Amino acid sequence: MRATSENNSLTEPAKTTARNTNRAAFRAGGMAFVIAGLGGITWFTLELLPPVLGFDDTDDPAVSLDYLRQYPQFYPLAWVALFIMAIAFIVASFAVSDALAPRTSSITRRSLSALGLLSAAFLFMQGVLRESVGPLLYLDGMNSGWGESAYLTIQMLGTHGFAQASLLTLCVWALGISVAGARSHALPRWLCVLGVVAGLRLVMLIAGPFLTAARIDLPEFLWFGSVALIPLGMLWWLGLGVVLLVKSRPNREERPANLAR
C-alpha cells in the first residue's frame, strides 16, 4: 500500500506537468489560429480593394500598375499580413497535432502538420511577391513594357501560383483536421462540419480541370461560391483558435485539487 501511494505521489507531478504543457500548446495554437484568421481576413480585404477604388479590370497590367502608382501602400500591407499568417500557421500546425494526439495516429498528425507547414511556405512566398512593388514601379518608370511584363509575371506566380497553392493546401488541411477531429471526438462537431463546408472549395478546384477538358463552361455562381468559401475558411480558423483557447483553460475539477495541495 505504501509503495502504491509513493508511486502515485511520484507520478502526480509528472501528470500535472504534462497537463500544463498541453495547455500551453493549446494556448499558443489558439492564439496562432486567431491571428492567422484575422490576418487572412485582412489579406482578403486588401485583395478586394482595387475594384472598390475604381480599378475594375485588374487583369489588365496597365490598370493594375496605375492602381499601384496611386496606392503603393496596400501591397506592402498585404505582405505584412501574409508574413504574420505564415508564422502563425507554423505554430498552429504543431498545436493542432497536439490537440488530436490522444486518439489520432501519429502518421495522420504528422501529415496534417506537414500540410500546415507547406501552406505557410506558400503564403510566405506570396508575401515576398507582394513586397516587390518598389522594383515593379521602378521597372515601369524605366519602360512601361517592362513594368507590364514584370506585373504579369508576379500575377501568374503570386495570385495564380503561390496564393492558389496556399489556399488549396489549407483546404486539404481543414478537411483533414475536421475528419480527424470528428473521428477522435477531439474537436466539437459543429467545428468539424464547418471545416468540411469550407473545404468544399477543394472539390470545385478539382472539378475545374475536368470540366475544362470536357469543354463544359463552369457556371458563374460556382465561381462566386468558390470565392465566398475563402473567407468562410478564415472564419473556421478563428473558430478553431477559440476552441483551442477554451481547451487551454484548467478544468473545474482540477482547480479544487490544485488548491487543496
Query: Taking a C-beta distance cutoff of 8 angstroms, is the pair 117, 73 a contact?
Result: no
Q: Domain range spanning residue 113?
A: 22-260
**Site of grid cell 502515485:** 8
- Asked if residue 14 belongs to a domain, the reply is no
**Site of grid cell 514601379:** 137
- Can you spell out the DSSP letters for 156-172? IIIIIIIHHHHHHHHHH
- Asked if residue 226 belongs to a domain, the reply is yes
- Asked if residue 4 belongs to a domain, the reply is no
Interatomic CA distance for residues 202 and 195, integer angstroms: 12
- Asked if residue 15 belongs to a domain, the reply is no
State the DSSP code for 132.
Answer: T
Interatomic CA distance for residues 257 and 9, integer angstroms: 14
- Asked if residue 202 belongs to a domain, the reply is yes
- Asked if residue 1 belongs to a domain, the reply is no
For 88-125, the pLDDT digits (tens) are: 999 999 888 888 887 888 899 999 999 999 999 999 99
Q: Which has more confidence, 204 or 147? A: 147
> Mean pLDDT, to the nearest integer, of 151-170?
90
pLDDT at 11 over 70: no
pLDDT at 209 over 80: no
The reported pTM is 0.82
pLDDT at 210 over 60: yes
pLDDT at 261 over 60: no
Interatomic CA distance for residues 195 and 193, integer angstroms: 5
- Asked if residue 13 belongs to a domain, the reply is no
- Asked if residue 208 belongs to a domain, the reply is yes
C-alpha cell at 149: 511584363
Question: For residue 13, what pLDDT is reported?
Answer: 54
Query: Taking a C-beta distance cutoff of 8 angstroms, is the pair 24, 221 a contact?
Result: no
**Number of domains making up the chain:** 1
